[in-house]
Amino acid sequence: CFQISCQGATSITTFAVFLCDKIAPALHQAVYEKTALAIARDMKGKIPDFNGNRSSLEVCILRYLAQEENFENFKSYLNCPQDFLQSYIERHVEMYCLDANRRLEKFLDDSLTRLYESIQSAVFESTNVVKDRKDRNDKISLWLDEFCSALGEVLNLPRRDLKGIEHQEITDIEFLNNAMTEALAPLKDHLKAEFASASLSSFERQPHTILAEQFAGCWEKCPFCGAVCTNTMPNHDGDHQLVFHRPQVLTGYRWHKTDNLVIDICSSSVASDCTFRIGEDTWIPFKRYRDAGPPYSTWNIPSDPSMQAYWKWFVSHFRTELEKRYNGKFHGKGEIPASWQRITKQEALDELQK
């Protein structure tokens, strides 16, 4: 237990130093928590990619992928859209925070300034409440009650951790104000020095994780084409659905007993007389796809022949890579229409933006 043997000014200084040692880790934690939230909020407001909902972010990702024209990136995106979205956000957070302006340091400084002011005003308010209480001998205990409750919103400083110093015979409460101000100053300087070399790994809860949570939703993929359900609720009620299905080659579909890759989309297949196979030899008509049980039965795929120009451009542009990846050919039933091959990247991107 913490005991103060000497009296007067020394005991108050020792009390202040002990209390600041308790405040230090709580302040450190609060600065990084507040900063992570502030960065996520700032980017959601200022970076166009993150202004809207997940569908609009999806468009930004598709635009980025087309501009990069890197098949490996497309592969990562098609394999695991959720991971790709995470890393896309993470990369943007890094560029935003660690650019030439070192925004990260500014964000940390702002959080520290605000929290530091809160601590100072809690010291001041507690002293004001307690200094005129003639009826109480345990002024320090009362001061600590006030101080912890004033900081409750801002810092995690449990009152029970300060039991060891609550019985101090400190009468000059006014002097405590000055002692605390002096003991707090090194805390601030120490943190400011740390910020100069801070990186995003300094955060327990990453800003990009907080930002990605704003774009949560269902991540179920269409069993035919792999496009992601557009419902904004994870574990939502009702069927999975989406507006635009994609050519089924994107999940490796080939026409039975041929090397012909399938360029049809699910929403036109469900209106056709075609069948698909599940397991070794069970064939189901596309029109009755729900009879195949889950995951097929959990999807609502209305009949609609319209396909985005984007995927027509993609299939034409990466023809060779797709043939190699899925061990098939775009010929026979999988012949790529001449009209697809005429679509420019710019046309594909323009249609996405609509």
Return d(Cα 26, Cα 308) in angstroms, integer: 52
Would the pLDDT of 2 be above 70? no
Q: Where along the chain do its domains lie? A: 1-209, 248-353
- Percent of the chain scored above 90 by pLDDT? 82
Return d(Cα 26, Cα 112) in angstroms, integer: 12
- Percent of the chain scored above 70 by pLDDT? 96
Which ranges of the chain does DSSP label H, i.e. alpha helix?
A: 8-46, 54-68, 71-79, 81-97, 103-131, 139-151, 173-195, 207-213, 266-269, 309-317, 319-326, 338-341, 345-353
Return d(Cα 95, Cα 169) in angstroms, integer: 54
Whether a cis peptide bond, with omega within 30° of 0, leads into 295 is yes
Instruction: Give the other-Cβ count within 10 Å of 102's Cβ.
Output: 14
Joined tokens for residue 232: 């904004």
Quick: pLDDT tens for 204-254: 999 999 999 999 999 999 999 999 999 999 999 999 999 999 999 999 999
Would the pLDDT of 324 be above 80? yes
Return d(Cα 271, Cα 289) in angstroms, integer: 11
Q: Provide the CB-side half-sphere exposure for 171 (13 A, CA).
A: 5
Joined tokens for residue 131: 């200094």
The residues near 173 (Cβ < 8 Å, ≥ 6 apart) are: 127, 130, 131, 139, 143
By mean pLDDT, which of 8-12, 142-146, 236-240, 312-316 is the weakest?
A: 8-12
Taking a C-beta distance cutoff of 8 angstroms, is the pair 146, 124 a contact?
Answer: no
At 326, is the pLDDT very low, low, confident or very high (cuts 50, 70, 90)?
A: very high
Quick: pLDDT tens for 4-36: 444 555 688 888 999 999 999 999 999 999 999
By mean pLDDT, which of 110-114, 196-200, 208-212 is the weakest?
A: 196-200
pLDDT value of residue 6: 46
Would the pLDDT of 147 be above 90? yes
* CA 51 and chain centroid, separation: 14
Quick: pLDDT tens for 62-82: 999 999 999 999 999 999 999
Which ranges of 196-301 does DSSP label H, i.e. alpha helix?
A: 207-213, 266-269
pLDDT value of residue 100: 80
Return d(Cα 299, Cα 218) in angstroms, integer: 12
Query: What's the Rg (C-alpha) of the chain?
Result: 31
* Mean pLDDT of the residues in the chain: 92
Return d(Cα 202, Cα 96) in angstroms, integer: 16
| Total count of residues recorded for the chain | 354
pLDDT value of residue 9: 56
Mean pLDDT (whole number) for 306-315: 97
Distance (Å) of CA 91 to CA 33, 75, 170, 203 = 20, 18, 53, 16
Q: Provide the CB-side half-sphere exposure for 98 (13 A, CA).
A: 13
Joined tokens for residue 313: 């451009």
Quick: pLDDT tens for 44-64: 999 999 999 999 999 999 999
Return d(Cα 71, Cα 323) in angstroms, integer: 12
Phi-psi region of 7 (alpha: psi -120 to 50; beta: other; left: phi over 0): beta
